[in-house]
Structure 1
Amino acid sequence: MAQPPLSQRIQRLERELGVRLFERTSRQVTITAAGTMLLEDARLLLARADALTATARRIREGESGLLRAALPPDLAAEAIAAILAAFRQHRPGVELELHELSTTEQLARFTSRELDVGLVRHPCDIAGLELGPVLLRELGVLLPGGAPAAALDEVPLAALTGYGLVLFPRAEAPALHDDVLNTCARGGYTPATVRQGSGTGFVRGLVLSANAVAFAPRDTAPDDAAGPHADIVWRPLAGAPLAWRHSVAWPRGRGDAAVGAFAEAASRALWNTAAMTADAPARPLHLRPAAEYWL
């Protein structure tokens, strides 16, 4: 820096502090007693400024900081463990604050800026969000082991006629809830009753005791579902008419490196552990205010 701008900055700093930092003569410049007393604090301030810049860089590059993330309640334990392991491997310095939240709860926290990234289920209102790849998770049906349809290799929706349906509460994902019922109706199945349930034990209890069925991905089926005398069995649906569509989502313009690392970890882990596949048909994807449909 040239001498005149430097002198001007020193004089401005002296005016702000209200003390003289240097004694100036035509032949030399010496530090004053006040300047000597302030020198150590000045050095500490500069060091802290450098540390602040370095910390900001690490946060920006996803090497440290706090990431508030959410996963849906119905995700299998193996998938959750795989996501956490993959994220920690690539971002060990980032503190991950993980929450179990439905899609509706995630959207509310995105709006209130209480969540950085999450795994949402479509269709939902994606206004103001950016999305990772959409992954498809085909659904089968959980039904009593003694049901006639349990003897089938694949179960048509119409074969469930007469049974009630255990479905997640509509408040958790209204558009998806309605889409499931509409798909059932188109397939010839109108549930005798619709009961609300999310927890695995509660859903299985209703299937066993309430003449009901429930839709579930293969990876969340009970371990005994394949046994020949199981109380509850899991069977694929003929024609795969139902599927959950998931994608990692985050507020538009706020996707830093840590968010990108979580999105990558979640997509890879779900691909490998939850039998998910990329949902990418040749036809374009049209996004609507409260839903996502292939047209």
Structure 2
Amino acid sequence: MAVAEESHFGRAAARLGIAQPPLSQRIQRLERELGVRLFERTSRQVTITEAGRLLLAEARELLARSESFLAAARRVRDGETGLLRAALPPDLPGETVAALLDDFGRRHAGLELELHELSTAQQLARLAAHELDVGVVHHPCDVSGLELGPVLRRELGVLLPRHAPEAGLDAVPLGSLTGYDLILFPRPAAPALYDDLLTACARGGYTPAAVRHGQGASFVRGLVLSARAVALAPRDAAHPASADVVWRPIAGDPPAWRHSAAWPKGRGDAAVQAFADAAAHALRTTAGAVPDAPARPLHLRPASEFWL
């Protein structure tokens, strides 16, 4: 891995803390054991072969699993009962987080839960690097290499100033929001979902003049009040004590957030499953989430369509 990433035996040896000749000998021995040539060598450079490139991902996974195995052995040696590394997206309401923790604590009282607040993109990166055991992600996203819990849907409405004409409607058509800027989370947090929401708005007749980015509830509320902007959010995002910002459902077929637990394939042990079950139960009971489409294979598509 070091030679492939450095494309240079000297730099790779320095990175590994060994001399260059033993490193070259180890690579040659590995090539003999595998029966394939991993690198093309010249006096000036080292280039990975096609066979080496194809095996590199497997090598990374083997090393990651080795490190995970050693970490587990250390925990056993030190008498620890276990650790589950989990993550939730920033937009889940506090009641959902509390319900999840309470439910999981009852299911696995002896397990230490290391919980992080991470965007979908951050979770996917850490799951791929085996730095996270399980998370709750937004769909659509790239689910290759992952197993999923049930996909749950939270329909979105619109947050807008109480004095806005649209606030008097029982349900707001997307087309009536023309003239308002749209407040969304930053695109890097969940690129496919971001594009999906903009496509849904366009299909409903609403193309915002500008997209403003915000995630914190107070910051979004300030933009809604002072910037002639609206935000798409589930019902639980509306603070009941707020007198100046209201939530209204969207007419017709509203856009939605879709969540599910996700974990690397083949690594869904009892603790992971308990977290996935607790997350699904908390979303249903505290955030009004409902099952999405009937169970069927999930695929990533580059446009806004979620299911094939």
Q: Name the TM-score class by shorter chain.
A: 0.7 to 0.9
Q: Distance in 1 between matches of 2:160 and 2:184?
A: 13
After superposition, give the CA deviation of every residue in 1:187-219 in whole Å (9 maximum; x if it has no partner): 000112100111111111101110000011111
In structure 2, stretches of 5+ residues that fail to align are 1-72
The answer for the alignment partner of 2:203 in structure 1 is 186
Whole-Å separation in 2 of the counterparts to 1:155 and 1:199: 24
CA deviations over 1:132-151 (Å, ceiling 9, x no partner): 00000111100011111000
Q: CA deviation at 1:224?
A: 3.0
Question: What residue is the counterpart of 2:135 in the other structure?
Answer: 118
The gaps in structure 1 that reach 5 residues or longer are 1-51
State the match for 1:252 in structure 2. Answer: 265
CA distance in 1, matches of 2:247, 2:253: 14
> Which residue does 2:226 correspond to in 1?
209
Residues 1:92 and 2:109 aligned together: yes
Q: Provide, for residues 5-41 of structure 1, a one-character-per-residue CA deviation record: whole Å limited to 9, x for no partner.
A: xxxxxxxxxxxxxxxxxxxxxxxxxxxxxxxxxxxxx
Larger Rg: 1
CA distance in 2, matches of 1:72, 1:128: 20
| Letter of the 1:268 counterpart | H
Task: Show the counterpart of 1:276.
Answer: 289
Asked if 1:72 corresponds to 2:89, the answer is: yes
What is the TM-score normalised by the length of structure 1? 0.75
SS in 2 for 1:67: strand
| Higher normalized strand content (fraction of residues) | 1
Is the Cα–Cα contact under 8 Å of residues 157 and 254 in structure 2 kept in the other structure? no
Change (3 A) 1:286 1:265: closer
2:125: which partner in 1? Answer: 108
TM-score with structure 2 setting the length: 0.72
Deviation at 1:112, TM superposition (A): 1.3
The alpha-carbon distance between structure 1 residues 158 and 203, as it changes in their structure 2 partners (threshold 3 A), is same
Paired with 2:171 and 2:184, the residues of 1 have a C-alpha distance of: 20
Q: Which amino acid aligns with 1:121?
A: H
**Identical-residue share of aligned pairs (%):** 65
* Stretch moving more, 185-194 or 273-282: 273-282
SS of structure 1 residue aligned to 2:267: coil
**Residue 124 of structure 1 contacts residue 290 of structure 1 at CA under 8 Å; is this kept in 2?**
no
Quick one: distance in 2 between partners of 1:286 and 1:99? Answer: 26
Q: Please report the RMSD computed on the Cα atoms of aligned residues, expressed in angstroms.
A: 2.0
Choose the corresponding residue for 2:212, options 195, 215, 224: 195
| SS of 2:179 mapped into structure 1 | coil
Matched, 1:287 2:287: no
Q: Which amino acid aligns with 2:107?
A: H
Aligned to 1:175: 192
How far apart are 1:288 and its partner, in Å? 2.5
The farther-off stretch of 238-247 and 150-159 is 238-247
Greater relative contact order structure (CA < 8 Å, 6+ sep): 1
What residue number does 2:240 align with? 223
CA distance 1:253–1:286, shift in 2 (3 Å): closer
Partner secondary structure for residue 288 of structure 1: coil
Displacement after TM superposition at 1:293 (Å): 1.4
Identify the residue that residue 14 of structure 1 maps to in structure 2.
none
Moved over 4 A (4+): 289-292
